[in-house]
Amino acid sequence: MRGVGVVTGVANALLKEECGTIAALIDAHARERPAATALIQDGHRLDYAGLHRLMDRVAAAMQRDGLWPGDIIAICAKTSMAYAAVFLGALRAGVAVAPLAPSSTPQSIASMVADCDAKLLFLDATVARALPTVELPAQVERVALDGPANGQSFATWLAAAEAAPAPVRLDPERAFNIIYSSGTTGEPKGIVHSYAMRWLQLTRANAVGYDAASVTIVSTPLYSNTTLVSFLPTLGYGGTAVLMEKFDAVGFLQLAERHRATHAMLVPVQYRRIMAVPDFDRYDLASFVMKLSTSAPFAAAVKADVLKRWPGGLVEYYGLTEGGGSCVLAAHLHPDKLHTVGQPSPGHDIRLIDEAGKEVPKGEIGEIVGHSAAIMSGYYKRPERTAEAEWRDASGKRFIRSGDVGRFDADGFLILMDRKKDMIISGGFNIYPSDLEAVLAKHEAIVEAAVVGVASNRWGETPVAFVVLKAGSRQSAEEIRDWLNGQVGKTQRLSGVEIVPALPRSAIGKVLKRELRDRFGRGRGA
């Protein structure tokens, strides 16, 4: 039976502040409920008193190394308790965190570390083994979270057990984190979220049942914004986060049953894999209060299956890492709207515009733009790219352009029609075709190439390349695929290559990617 989850005392008072910090909340939990479990991973537990002390040691070590509010650190590693402590300890010191994807290429990691001006890079052995092939900025010190691998060990770097950091002053508009949306082979774009934005997200999380009795299975990586919007509220309200280093469907179900999980944030492909487990129905999931989803299109049929067989509510979020406006679908309350992504969140202004930037009449299709207090400060050091992502109404109100196309139904629920941009979402991760096309263009046998996303039962979508070869070239599709996959991160790898005599184009020369997707489906009897 679920325990009492009311947040009381100092923590409750902090949650009512206009802008507080998660570091202060964890301090309050450590004082009032020191033995309560904060983190669990692979059978190991860390209580709030232990997490608080570890955060203090991290923050004190950063201050010892000359890092102060406004400075930035990068973390590139698999999910672990040490990762969580570094992230949270940096926030206690007022230092912004740039969490980077370990699946990125060494060149991408080096580029993002340089772009965000990181003073420290926390990494694990896997990342450390890859990085000697690239050069990092000279001022970046490496700290190895899982042992002395090309950097001093985390245990050696930490401040003494009794160390306490000097208090820092909160600036609500200061950078909380920098999350990279791209940067695989092209220009990296670091999305800056402020303390004020993250605090707003955290304090509104009680709407989906987060409290001191919450137990969240964290199965998506800590570098993902998808993860942070559930991980941070779990700890902010004094709950327990159960960390998975790597997701697998059966392992998730076992953890959920063992720890009496109440919450989980999953991307749609994870739901598909979990629901496909042959003996799914034998697991006791009655403890669930709410299941959450975001990051990719969520098929109505899968939502319906989750509602039918998995206890607790189901909420889908639609929005961007950049923020702006978001929509929420409480699927358990609106089972007739599973084909939509819900209605605008309270206080969020969602509009649709045409190619000329004018709002479209009600019921018509347009590009989705959104405004709210939960909006990025901008792309780090990229004012011109920030401006490109913005749209302003007649009053000058700032909106973020989604690149997605949709329409509102008669009840005000948003229906996604297509993505204006050609971004591919595979396993919940964004893949930019232009990045892969730029790599393919370097191949000596290729004249031109186009990459599209096609349906995949395993990943939701997967990238496929259509290439035109130079006359006389004898390269096979398999050889090109293997060559490309050796140049990019594992989340970007092509599942297939098709050699074509020419790419279909419109009258003005634009490659018709929809036609390529349709051709791929017809070729497989879809």
- The model's pLDDT over 259-285, given as tens digits with 9 standing for 90+, comes to 999 999 999 889 989 999 999 999 999
Q: What is the pTM of this model?
A: 0.83
Percent of the chain whose pLDDT exceeds 90: 73
**CA-CA distance, 405 to 423, in Å (whole number)?**
13
121 pLDDT band (50/70/90 cuts)?
very high
Is residue 430 within 8 Å of residue 424, measured between CB atoms?
yes
184 pLDDT band (50/70/90 cuts)?
very low
Question: The tokens of 31 are what?
Answer: 């004082």
**CA-CA distance, 22 to 18, in Å (whole number)?**
13
pLDDT of 61 strictly over 50: yes
Contacts of 388 (CB under 8 A, 6+ apart): none
pLDDT in tens, 412-461: 999 987 666 677 888 888 787 777 888 998 899 998 899 998 888 888 88
What is the average pLDDT across 200-226? 95
- Transcribe 444-494 into DSSP letters: TTEEEEEEEEEEETTTEEEEEEEEEEPTT----HHHHHHHHHTTS-GGG--
| Predicted local distance difference test score (pLDDT) of residue 185 | 38
- 3-class DSSP state of 414: strand
- Transcribe 219-265 into DSSP letters: -S-TTSHHHHHHHHHHHHTT-EEEE-SS--HHHHHHHHHHTT--EEE
The 10 Å Cβ neighbour count of residue 501 is: 6
Catalogue all structural domains in the chain, each as residue range(s) with its CATH number: 9-246 (3.40.50.12780), 319-419 (2.30.38.10), 430-523 (3.30.300.30)
CB-based burial of residue 69 (10 Å sphere; 0-12 exposed, 13-18 middle, 19+ buried)? middle
Length of the chain, in residues: 526
Q: What are phi and psi of 178, to 5 degrees?
A: -130, 115
Question: The tokens of 44 are what?
Answer: 């190991």
DSSP symbol at 377 = -
Higher pLDDT, 74 or 8: 74
> What is the Cβ-side half-sphere exposure of residue 457, based on CA atoms within 13 angstroms?
3
| Predicted local distance difference test score (pLDDT) of residue 337 | 98
Helix axis angle, 268-275 to 249-258, nearest 10°: 80
DSSP symbol at 71 = -
pLDDT in tens, 77-105: 999 999 999 999 999 999 999 999 998 88
Is residue 29 within 8 Å of residue 238, measured between CB atoms?
yes
150 pLDDT band (50/70/90 cuts)?
low
**CA-CA distance, 69 to 453, in Å (whole number)?**
41
525 pLDDT band (50/70/90 cuts)?
very low
| Predicted local distance difference test score (pLDDT) of residue 3 | 47
Write out the E strands in 65-132.
72-76, 96-99, 120-123
Most confident range, picked from 120-129, 175-184, 191-200, 465-474: 191-200
pLDDT in tens, 231-269: 999 999 999 999 999 999 999 999 999 999 999 999 988
**CA-CA distance, 220 to 231, in Å (whole number)?**
10
The 10 Å Cβ neighbour count of residue 43 is: 5
Strand 390-392 to 290-293 pairing: unpaired
Q: What are phi and psi of 179, to 5 degrees?
A: -110, 130
Is residue 312 within 8 Å of residue 284, measured between CB atoms?
no
- 3-class DSSP state of 343: strand
182 pLDDT band (50/70/90 cuts)?
low
| Predicted local distance difference test score (pLDDT) of residue 420 | 67
Q: Kindly report the CA angle at 55 between 51 and 56, in degrees rounded to 5? A: 120
pLDDT of 297 strictly over 90: no
Higher pLDDT, 29 or 418: 29
**CA-CA distance, 234 to 252, in Å (whole number)?**
17
